Amino acid sequence: MARRYFGTDGIRGRVGAAPITPDFVLKLGYAAGKVLAGADKTAQKGNRPTVLIGKDTRVSGYMLEAALESGFSAAGVDVMLAGPMPTPGIAYLTRALRLNAGVVISASHNPYADNGIKFFSADGNKLPDEVELEIEAQLEQPMECAPSERLGKARRLDDAGGRYIEFCKSTFPASFDLRGMKLVLDCAHGAAYDVGPHVFHELGAEVVSIGVAPNGFNINDGVGATAPDALVRAVKEHGADIGIALDGDADRVQIVDSTGRLYNGDELLYVLVKDRIATHGKVEGAVGTLMTNMAVEVALKTSGVQFVRAAVGDRYVLEKLREHGWQLGAEGSGHILSLDRHSTGDGIVSALLVLAAIKRSGKSIAELLDGVSLFPQKLINVRMSPGADWKSSDEIRRAVDQAERALESKGRVLIRASGTEPVLRVMVEAAAQQDAVRHAETIAQVVKDVTS
């Protein structure tokens, strides 16, 4: 059964346009509350379930938080409010506090005018598809209101930041510290603007912070993991040893070394796998996505590590990891999963794992990646009209076939719809940069002609 509202990462869109409107989010809170209350055996004995709500720094977060809180209250669900908090922080706190669910108000790496809602289950994982379908079914029912004596209550979780900071620090080896290291941390004017610098500073690093002055409108604006040029400049300007860029909700990371060289999630996955091999002797397998660079797949297999590709989206990487019983997976965008550390992708924790690998080996990231040369990739986003039927287009199929014949076995073509915005992503990977660019631009133009 197809989901009507939930995408690959919750519900997301432009604020003020359906479904990101106050009335819909009010009803969403009510519907989610009814589903959670129905599944909670303690609620059936007269106890109210409790959910935790966090958000990033978008100005619309105030409005959507109030709407969600009201919906949950009307369903008889208590609410704890964490305020601005990284998405993985809400996942951790939901599990640590034994709550029924966690909710994050965020559109992650999108511009400030967008926002979204994503849910975590009691164990800190994203909701299963069947639960999302239950919520969507409840949305079709009339919204009611619990009797006054059963209405949910709300309170502020004042120590949310401190709890999460300590959790992040606990994922770094106790025998290591970051003394003597100077790093630049770019928080994208987003959810980690407060907690992020504390984590690295308390581990001993000299921290230069950028992207830590949110005003409601500047999240991801020229800073953060989706705009790493600001981090590259800051690392060079301050003579830092390393730079770390988070996105708006801090679940993804990009890292820059002292020369200004940027390392994406594909490369960082390889670094972490090799570190696990060095410390534990063997890693059975790792998971990437359809977008993962072929060079990383080849290098991992050469190291005796199985490699499996999932659909794009960290929830699909997680599904494959669970299916195989493995721990490490990643997307090139910087979503990195280490299931022995956290139940979901965490930009701060992932950065700490990379820093631990550097400390343990005594090598730089470049040295840890010796022998791994990424194949050039060209990615073009093509905005499409709603309902455009690109999958059945003969013109697109012919353009893809022509590129694949030219590339032979030395590259690949991938076209996929974004799960978070109305665009098609055209990616071409080739042995030569000019071939990747040429074929990607040709296919993107055909896609634009067909779908606009």
Choice between 384 and 32, residue whose per-residue pLDDT is larger: 32
Query: Which stretch of DSSP H or E encloses residue 338?
Result: strand 336-338
Q: Do domains 11-157 and 377-451 have the same CATH topology?
A: no
**Confidence grade of residue 47 (pLDDT, cut at 50, 70, 90):** confident
- Considering the candidates 73, 108, 333, 343, report the single residue annotated as catalytic: 108
The binding site for Mg(2+) comprises: 108, 247, 249, 251
pLDDT score at 107: 96
d(CA 198, CA 193): 10
**What's the DSSP call for residue 146?**
-
pLDDT score at 46: 59
- List pLDDT tens digits, range 356-382: 999 999 999 999 999 898 999 899 999
Phi, psi of 304 (to 5 degrees): 85, 20
pLDDT score at 418: 81
Alpha helices by DSSP H, listed for 283-432, are 294-302, 314-324, 347-361, 365-368, 394-407
- List pLDDT tens digits, range 219-265: 999 999 999 999 999 999 999 999 999 999 999 999 999 999 999 99
Q: Which CATH number fits domain 377-451: 2.40.160.60, 3.30.310.50, 2.40.50.140, 3.40.190.10?
A: 3.30.310.50
- List pLDDT tens digits, range 182-226: 999 999 999 999 999 999 999 999 999 999 999 999 999 999 999
* Burial of 110: CB neighbours in 10 Å, binned 0-12, 13-18, 19+: buried
pLDDT score at 315: 87
> Which is it for strands 206-210 and 182-186: parallel, antiparallel or unpaired?
parallel
- Kindly indicate whether the domain formed by 163-260 is annotated with CATH number 3.40.120.10: yes
pLDDT score at 40: 60
- List pLDDT tens digits, range 3-12: 789 987 899 9
The answer for 304, left when phi > 0, alpha when psi is -120 to 50, beta otherwise, is left
Q: Which residues, including other chains, have CB under 8 Å from residue 218's CB and lie 6 or more apart? A: 112, 189
What mean pLDDT is reported for the chain?
A: 94
Instruction: State mean pLDDT over 444-449.
Output: 94
Q: Which residues, including other chains, have CB under 8 Å from residue 98's CB and lie 6 or more apart? A: 122
**pLDDT beyond 90 at 150:** yes
- List pLDDT tens digits, range 411-426: 899 998 887 678 899 9
pLDDT score at 410: 80
- List the domain boundaries for the chain: 11-157, 163-260, 263-368, 377-451
Q: Which CATH number fits domain 263-368: 3.40.1010.20, 3.40.50.300, 3.40.50.720, 3.40.120.10?
A: 3.40.120.10
Instruction: State mean pLDDT over 281-292.
Output: 94
Report the topology of domain 11-157.
Answer: Alpha-D-Glucose-1,6-Bisphosphate; Chain A, domain 3 (3.40.120)
pLDDT score at 43: 52
- List pLDDT tens digits, range 293-335: 989 998 999 999 999 999 988 889 999 999 999 999 999 999 9
For residue 19, cis peptide bond before it (omega within 30 degrees of 0): yes
Contact 41, 84 (CB under 8 A): no
Count CA within 13 A, CB hemisphere, residue 86: 31
Phi, psi of 98 (to 5 degrees): 60, 45
Which has the closest alpha carbon to 127: 29, 31, 9, 26? 9
pLDDT score at 376: 92
Quick count: other Cβ atoms within 10 Å of Cβ 100?
22
d(CA 260, CA 163): 33
Indicate if 333 belongs to the active site.
no
d(CA 53, CA 247): 19
Instruction: State mean pLDDT over 150-174.
Output: 97
